[in-house]
Structure 1
Amino acid sequence: MSDQLERLNRLPLRDNLRGLTPYGAPQIDVPIQLNVNENTHGVPADVQAAITQAVAEAAVGLNRYPDREFTELREALAEYLGHGLTADNIWAANGSNEVLQQILQAFGGPGRTALGFPPTYSMYPLLASGTDTEYLRGVRAGDYGLSAESAAAQVRELQPNIVFLCSPNNPTGTGLGLDVVEAVYEAGEDSQTVVIVDEAYHEFAHDGTPSALTLLPGRERLIVSRTMSKAFALAGARLGYMAAAPEVTDAIRLVRLPYHLSAITQATALAALRHREALMADVEDIKVQRDRIVDGLTRLGLKPAASDSNYVFFGGLENPHEIWRGLLDAGVLIRDVGIPGHLRVTAGTEAETTAFLEALESLLSRQAALPA
């Protein structure tokens, strides 16, 4: 046991936090970083200028607390989402992780449970532990799919207080049909289960892919979470948000910290929303590179999953960590998600995608040339 861990264990830490490790992907300074699903295109120059001006204007009033209700931002987010939503349906926080944490603070807690379907976003069990909510691990099919029948049966059996449905799913990138969301919601009627559909990557979905936002009317226990980290290239700004019935946003107000969204964050998000056309153009280019990765991996004899996100999950590797290490040595950082035979890569710029595919092809060729 390390000295640091020994010192930690001497503290009166909550029992359900003992033995856990913090969330975190490697932050390694290499030329091509394709491991945490960032928007590698960056913020366009005109949007940078708009954000800089908005932040400068906000800085004049930094001696005062910001609008606690961030009303203008909620109105702008409702307008962006559409579907007849208003500011009353919207809540936001410092990244979608904080939104999820606040939902767990309001509807989870001691004696309550949250159900996820691994492999899925690895923050779900950590957020549950942080709020003293028991995390239940559901099951998926062998191809990591999740059917409406299977998901609903597990909800009826386990009767969780909260269900996480990640769509597109992280790390697999596959979207869920709305039939799954509807079935899970109906199955949770008796247990009054709150259903969270995590749509952090929805803007990257193939054209015509419906959002769970269409299911919100009449479903007061349904929450759809989004983020500006990915499509809006604002991972460093930390702005996540959700859409739900107004009574749900009222419940979140009971647990949110006062003035939790800074004036700088609000100004940055508003400026980006006003200039979203340029940002969405980059999203379309990322989708092209994602599909190019799928085609390239297939050509190399690997097995990429169908992706509605800005990353590709792929299998068919005998030693994925060896490939991960080889790519890193070549200056390309992708993600080892700990699933046997698989890795995950973010869709970057055209040049980054080319570098990844060429480095991977070189590694696979060298492996094939080795004697058995």
Structure 2
Amino acid sequence: MIFLRVTLPFLAGYFLSYNYRAVNALLGPLLAEEFSLSAAQLGFLTSVYFLAFGAFQIPLGVLLDRYGPRRVNASLMLVAAGGALLFASGQSYTALVAGRALIGLGVSGCLMSSFQAWVLWHPPERIAMLNGIAFATGGLGAITASVPLELLLRVLGWREIFLILVGFNFAIVAVLATVVPERAPHRRGETLAQSLTGVGRIFRDAAFWRIGLALFGLQAAVGALLTLWMATWLRDVAGYSRAEVGQMLLAVNLALIAGYLGYGRAADALARRGRSALPVFAGGIACAAGCLVLLALGVTVATPLLWVLFIGCGSVGSLAYSILTRRYPREMAGRVNATLNIFTFGGSFLGQWGVGLVIDRWPQSASGYDPQAYSYAFGALWLAMLVGLAWLWSGRRLFESK
């Protein structure tokens, strides 16, 4: 009963959230052609989702801890529906950016409200596994933006596809509002000032900055590439057709789901033994960085394997949340997760837009972007990953006391 009335509705919201996030990987070239967009403009259009998402995380954390996940998520998803309608009807670049930003704001609570629902309804030792299931559900949303989307584009335009998403969006809002039971956090009497003081405690935690900056570097690469630039790299460097790009997006998103579930099970097992998942988190980043440096060098031998390993290993970012929340009381879970999420979506925004800015420094040909531009852009992302990993590992003792 808890699964049907609590778990499933929140998972459905995150499923749609990830679909909104990933859809531009295939739609991006169509939008660039229809609206005559540069690489930087395309990068900003896609990444403004992350900007709006990340900018709302601190207010989101306070709202979640004060009013609970059901009310907050249902209200925000109405904003997402409005943004999707604006995007679907947009006749200018400005309208598309505004619509995409509203979508990002509107779904900014989908994952964090799920995390808080798990904390409110489940024992602490199950949280890492449930987080992994949530992330895997997001991966399913991304899968629908791969081969299924490519097939749908053969019979429908991108505007019609967005209208379908709007309908699904409204259905989820209705379920959240009418089916999910109310269970708010325990500290109902906490004032706004006390809530903000809790946020200050998080920002003063040295461990928060260590794991946050590592997550930032990881997501600057994984978030930026998975939801946009991987698809154009496959087209411009590896010579893939749109159908082949869709198939590769399907493969890497299956790897994403497998990674989320596998890492979740590993963290769950470690938590039962009272051990931290930090070494697993660091190892996943190192593996992803090893794949990315080969892609930056333009290696196209075993292209599918490199991308599958990069995304699969890169899914380790899901562990950062359970690692950090173990340091705090349950009533702060919303603020802890949402504040950490700033690094996830801040990294994705800057990484995705930054890649576009770098690519624009090379002339664009009729067939696409210059392969050398990808090498420099991917190399910069690789350096960001290494810096974040080194900073995390040098402070690993901070995580041994909690």
Same structural fold, with TM-score higher than 0.5 when normalized by the shorter chain: no
| Higher normalized contact order (CA 8 Å, seq sep 6+, divided by chain length) | 2
Question: TM-score, normalized by length of structure 1?
Answer: 0.29
Greater helix share, structure number? 2
Rg larger in 1 or in 2? 1
